[in-house]
Amino acid sequence: MKNTEKKRCISCGKSDLSKDEIGINMKLIGAETQNFYCIDCLSDVLGVSVVDIYEKIEEFKEEGCTLFS
């Protein structure tokens, strides 16, 4: 059983983070991070808006980043 399948937000406890959410954590916090946040908490931590985060996700997708669905 792999424990990499399900991640939960370490801040609010939201479970079952999406692939996009996990990917953007790795991009913005670092690929080695063990701390994953949902989009809402990530925007808080980084001091940016939720919309900014979604725009970043779209940018990375357009670049063909494999971390995203």
The distance of Cα 57 from the centroid of its chain, to the nearest Å, equals 9
Q: For residue 31, with 0-12 CB atoms within 10 Å meaning exposed, 13-18 middle and 19 or more buried, which class applies?
A: exposed
Q: Considering only residues 15-34, where is the footprint of Zn ion by CB under 5 A? A: none
Based on the shown chain and the rule CB under 5 A, indicate whether residue 43 belongs to the binding site for Zn ion.
no
- Closest CB to Zn ion among 8 and 61? 8
Q: Does 11 bind Zn ion (CB under 5 A)?
A: yes
Minimum distance from CB of 64 to Zn ion (Å)? 27
Classify burial at 47, counting beta carbons within 10 Å of its beta carbon; exposed 0-12, middle 13-18, buried 19 or more. exposed
Q: Is 38 in the site for Zn ion (CB under 5 A)?
A: yes
Q: In the complex, which residues of this chain contact Zn ion (CB under 5 A)?
A: 9, 11-12, 14, 38, 41
